[in-house]
Amino acid sequence: MTITLTEKAEFRLRAFLQSSSAPSTDKGIRVGVNDGGCNGYQYTLDIVQNANPNDLIEQQGKIRIYVDPNNTHLLNGVVIDFVEGLLESGFKFSNPNATDTCGCGKSFQAGECTPAGVPCS
């Protein structure tokens, strides 16, 4: 299982982790996938204090990354970047497992296993 953070993404995530309230030696980010979005799957990115019992754990620089094992086939090889622009800023996911992505960059399809999408509103 490999998830890569660019230097910008790691810098931004470190800032979010440092500003989160409760100190914890296991504090990190949870990268995941939920059914939803306009293409069927949508990415999730959350700050967490502890691992779940079955989580896969990666260390990327100073960031601890937690992934539910049920999401590994959809997230293996993902590169997470942070982009800043005049019209949009935020985390951007580049996923080699995606067979199609939405224009918003927050949802994707992954072949025939993809659930039905919901049109963007």
Which of the two residues, 119 and 65, has the higher pLDDT score?
65
Q: What integer pLDDT is reported at residue 112 of this predicted model?
A: 66
Question: What pLDDT shows up at residue 48?
Answer: 92
Asked if residue 105 lies in contact with residue 115, where contact means CB atoms within 8 angstroms, the answer is no
| DSSP one-letter code for 38 | T
Give the residue-averaged pLDDT of 17-28: 78
- CA dist 48 and 66 (Å) reads 9
What average pLDDT does this structure show over 71-76?
Answer: 92
Which domains are assigned to the chain?
A: 3-112 (2.60.300.12)
pLDDT at 80: 95
Q: For residue 109, what pLDDT is reported? A: 78
CA distances in angstroms from 89 to 12, 21, 50, 81, 116, listed in the order given: 12, 24, 28, 11, 27
* Per-residue confidence (pLDDT) for residue 22, from 0 to 100: 59
Question: Residue 115: pLDDT above 70?
Answer: no
Q: Which two tokens stand for residue 2?
A: 């490999």
Edge-to-edge strand order for the sheet containing 78-83? 3-5, 78-83, 90-94
**pLDDT interval class at 116 (50, 70, 90):** low
Q: What pLDDT is attached to residue 31? A: 96
* Mean pLDDT, rounded, of the chain: 85
